[in-house]
């Protein structure tokens, strides 16, 4: 059974395919521990969990996508922090073209060591804070985690350093855009699924999200922003305003929106490759050339 899990504000949703026939898996899945520069209170080195998927029978240097997870609703359910997140749909799409995908889990998420601290208020039980300075400090911490991830990725003997992409969902989408702006020569492109840092339930969401995206404007290559209607966190008007601010600051890219089947949350479009496959095919052809 292949599972895709999404965590909206008030519930845990899972979708998958269950069959009594053997799955024709086209990729291998391995859980790895990535080194970091941090230690715990007892001086033990902290590591991050990463799920690495590779095409079956892959050999040599592989083009590699680093794909980043989102948040956990409003951040007030600590049990959700321990869930390791991947996207079988994204993994299937990229491995079918010979790509390797790394799904890192940031500090305190999944089985990663450390404290999950991406923008909480004084009372962590209340979840993520809407205070812009503190919220954006959480983004800074996520960027530090990505620094550790990329240090590992770049020294792997199976990574084609000339063909790197970064992407993610929700907070992971905004994080990917922002991070590419801090490393403008590292990635060929960015794939942002429904990116944002704080949902519109926060009155400062527009300020926080635009500030985060503006960090990515230094990325010299085109980015691809994929969004859905009826998103429980970000309306299309809100996300378009973030995108227009990104373009006005010098960023490059295209934003595409989709309508999901009735009853589906637009925030979960990563799980519907039939919607975005054609646009992503075209983006990769433009970004990487016909030999991708």
Residue 7 within a domain: no
Helix (H) or strand (E) holding 169: strand 159-169
Predicted model pTM: 0.91
Measured between alpha carbons, how far is 191 from 275 in angstroms, rounded to an integer? 14
CA-wise closest residue to 170 among 98, 91, 85? 85
Residue 240 within a domain: yes
Q: How many domains does the chain have?
A: 1
Sorted by sequence, the CB contacts under 8 Å of residue 287 that are 6+ apart come out as: 165, 188, 189, 221, 222
Taking residues 67-84, what's their average pLDDT? 93
pLDDT, tens only, 221-250: 999 999 999 999 999 999 999 999 999 999
SS3 206: helix
For 37: left if phi > 0, alpha if psi spans -120 to 50, otherwise beta; the answer is alpha
Residue 15 within a domain: no
Measured between alpha carbons, how far is 14 from 3 in angstroms, rounded to an integer? 7
Does 262 score more than 50 pLDDT? yes
**Helices within the chain (DSSP H only):** 78-81, 88-95, 132-155, 171-182, 205-214, 236-248, 273-288
The domain of 58 spans: 24-287
Taking residues 25-45, what's their average pLDDT? 93
3-state secondary structure 52-85: EEEECCCCCCEEEEEEECCCCCCCCCHHHHCCCC
Q: What is the CATH classification number for the domain harbouring 205? A: 3.40.50.1820
Residue 4 within a domain: no
Please report which confidence band the pLDDT of residue 17 belongs to, taking 50, 70 and 90 as the band edges. Answer: very low
The angle subtended at Cα 190 by Cα 186 and Cα 192, nearest 5°, is 150
Q: Describe the crossing of helices 132-155 and 205-214 by its angle, rounded to 10 degrees.
A: 30
How far is residue 158 from each of residues 29, 151, 161, measured CA to CA in Å?
15, 14, 9
pLDDT, tens only, 265-277: 999 999 999 999 9
**Residue recorded with tokens 């999950």:** 116
| Strand partners of residue 102 | 52, 66
pLDDT for 288 equals: 82
- 12, 5 in Cβ contact below 8 A? yes
């Amino acid at each position: 059974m292949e599972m895709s899990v999404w965590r909206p504000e008030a519930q845990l949703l899972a979708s998958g395919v269950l069959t009594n026939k053997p799955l024709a898996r086209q990729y291998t899945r391995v859980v790895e521990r990535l080194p970091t520069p941090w230690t715990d209170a007892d001086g033990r080195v902290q590591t991050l969990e990463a799920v690495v998927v590779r095409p079956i029978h892959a050999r040599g240097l592989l083009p590699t996508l680093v794909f980043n997870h989102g948040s956990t609703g409003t951040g007030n359910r600590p049990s959700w922090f321990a869930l390791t997140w991947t996207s079988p749909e994204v993994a299937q799409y990229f491995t079918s073209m010979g790509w390797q995908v790394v799904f890192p889990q940031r500090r305190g998420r999944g089985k990663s060591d450390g404290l999950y601290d991406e923008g909480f208020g004084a009372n962590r039980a209340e979840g993520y804070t809407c205070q812009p300075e503190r919220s954006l400090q959480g983004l800074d911490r996520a960027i530090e985690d990505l620094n550790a991830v990329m240090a590992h990725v770049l020294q792997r003997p199976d990574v084609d350093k000339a063909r790197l992409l970064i992407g993610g969902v929700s907070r992971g989408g905004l994080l990917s855009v922002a991070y590419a702006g801090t490393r403008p020569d590292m990635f060929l492109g960015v794939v942002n699924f429904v990116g944002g840092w704080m949902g519109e339930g926060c009155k400062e969401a527009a300020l926080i999200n635009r500030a985060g995206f503006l960090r990515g404007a230094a990325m010299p290559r085109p980015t691809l922003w994929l969004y859905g209607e009826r998103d429980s966190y970000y309306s299309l008007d809100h996300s378009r305003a973030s995108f227009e601010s990104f373009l006005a600051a010098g960023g490059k890219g295209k934003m595409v929106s989709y309508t999901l089947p009735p009853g589906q949350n637009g925030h979960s479009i990563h799980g519907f490759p039939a919607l975005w496959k054609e646009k992503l095919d075209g983006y990769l052809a433009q970004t990487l050339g016909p030999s991708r």
